[in-house]
C-alpha cells in the first residue's frame, strides 16, 4: 500500500492511495474522528486497511486535487546516517569502512513535502538522494533477525546539506538542520510493496540530468543492521524516520563541484517508492 498524509482543504489526514485517488484511511476504518498517519502506524492499524480496500463509503479525492504533506509530518525523531554507501564513501575519500554507523539528527522543521520550494541558506548547498524507513513498532535492543518486524515502510528523502556550514564545526549538523532541509515523500510505501530492503533502487536528477543512481545493496549498514544498532543507542518509536544515506554522485564529490542554484529542480525517483520533486530558491 501507498500511505500518505494529505490536506483536502480542511486539515491534515491519513490516506491510502488507490487508483489515483486518496481514500481517507481512518474513515475507511470506521473512525473518522482520528486523523494522523503516525497514530495509524503506532496503533498497528495499517494491516487493518488491507481488508477494507475497495470498500465504498469512505471519503476520497482525486490524487491530483489534494495537497500531499510529508508522509509523517510529526515524527518524534529524524535520524540520518552518513557515509553509508560504499561508493559514496569512496568518492569523498573514506578509505576504511566504519564499524558503527555515523549518525546525526534533523528535526521536524526540516521536513518539506513533494513539490515544495526550499530556500537554501548558502551558495554551497548540495543534494543527497536517500531511502528512508519509518519505524512501525517500538524498538529497543532489537536483534537483527527481528529488525524488519519494526519497519512500517519506506519513503524517499533528500538530505539537503549546506556543505560550508556542515564543515564549519566537527559536527555536521549546522549544515543539515535548516528549514526544508529534508524533503520527504510522496508516500509511505509498506514493506511488501517496497520490495526487499537490500534491493530498493533510487536515482536523482538535477534539471533533468542524472546525478545519482544507486540501490540499497550498496549500503554498508543494511536496514536490519541499522534498526538493531540504533535501537541499542536509543528507543525507536513508531513514526520515527531513519534516512539510510546517499549513493555516489553528490555535488561535493564532483570535479568541478556542483552546488544548487536558484530555480533548480531536483527529482528523486524509485521504481517502488515513487517520485519526490523539490525546487530550490536562494
pLDDT 10s digits, 252-281: 999 999 999 999 999 999 999 999 999 999
Cell of 245: 544515506
State the average pLDDT over residues 109-129: 98
pLDDT bin (cut points 50, 70, 90) of residue 222 is very high
For 88, the enclosing helix (H) or strand (E) is helix 86-91
pLDDT at 76 over 80: yes
State the average pLDDT over residues 71-95: 91
pLDDT of residue 90: 85
State the average pLDDT over residues 86-99: 84
pLDDT of residue 23: 96
Distance between CA 41 and CA 153 in Å, rounded? 10
What whole-number percentage of the chain has pLDDT above 90? 90
- Specify the pTM: 0.97
pLDDT of residue 202: 98
Q: Which residues of 126-152 are buried (b: 16+ CB within 10 A; e: fewer)?
A: bbbbbbbbbbbeebeebeeeebbebbb
First to last CA, the chain: 36
pLDDT of residue 51: 87
pLDDT tens track for 143-176? 999 999 999 999 999 999 999 999 999 999 999 9
Please state, rounded to an integer, the average pLDDT across all residues of the chain.
96
Per DSSP, the residues of 220-235 read SS-HHHHHHHHHHHS-
pLDDT bin (cut points 50, 70, 90) of residue 224 is very high
Distance between CA 166 and CA 262 in Å, rounded? 20
pLDDT bin (cut points 50, 70, 90) of residue 210 is very high
* Residue 94 burial by Cβ neighbours in a 10 Å radius (0-12, 13-18, 19+): middle
Instruction: Tell me the three state secondary structure of residue 178.
Output: coil
Amino acid at each position: 500500500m501507498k500511505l500518505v498524509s494529505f490536506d483536502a482543504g480542511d486539515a491534515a489526514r491519513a490516506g491510502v492511495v488507490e487508483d489515483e485517488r486518496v481514500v481517507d484511511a481512518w474513515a475507511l476504518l470506521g473512525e473518522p474522528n482520528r486523523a494522523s498517519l503516525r497514530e495509524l502506524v503506532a496503533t498497528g492499524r495499517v494491516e487493518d486497511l488491507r481488508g477494507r480496500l475497495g470498500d465504498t463509503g469512505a471519503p476520497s479525492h482525486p490524487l491530483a486535487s489534494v495537497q500531499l504533506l510529508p508522509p509523517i509530518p510529526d515524527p518524534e525523531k529524524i535520524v540520518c546516517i552518513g557515509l553509508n554507501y560504499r561508493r559514496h564513501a569512496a568518492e569523498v575519500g573514506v578509505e576504511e569502512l566504519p564499524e558503527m554507523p555515523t549518525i546525526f539528527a534533523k528535526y521536524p522543521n526540516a521536513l518539506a513535502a513533494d513539490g515544495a520550494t526550499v530556500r537554501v541558506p548558502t551558495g554551497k548547498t548540495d543534494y543527497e538522494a536517500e531511502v528512508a524507513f519509518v519505524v512501525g513498532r517500538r524498538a529497543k535492543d532489537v536483534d537483527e533477525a527481528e529488525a524488519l518486524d519494526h519497519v512500517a515502510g519506506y519513503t524517499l528523502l533528500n538530505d539537503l546539506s549546506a556543505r560550508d556550514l556542515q564543515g564549519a564545526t566537527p559536527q555536521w549538523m549546522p549544515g543539515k538542520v535548516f528549514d526544508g532541509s529534508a524533503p520527504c515523500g510522496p508516500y509511505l510505501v509498506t514493506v511488501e510493496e517496497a520490495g526487499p530492503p537490500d534491493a530498493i533502487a533510487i536515482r536523482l536528477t538535477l534539471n533533468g540530468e542524472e546525478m545519482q543512481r544507486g540501490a540499497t545493496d550498496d549500503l554498508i549498514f543494511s536496514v536490519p543492521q541499522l534498526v538493531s544498532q540504533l535501537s541499542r543507542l536509543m528507543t525507536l518509536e513508531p513514526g520515527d524516520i531513519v534516512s539510510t544515506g546517499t549513493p555516489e554522485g553528490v555535488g561535493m564529490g564532483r570535479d568541478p563541484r556542483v552546488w544548487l542554484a536558484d530555480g533548480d529542480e531536483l527529482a528523486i525517483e524509485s521504481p517502488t517508492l515513487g517520485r519526490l520533486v523539490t525546487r530550490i530558491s536562494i
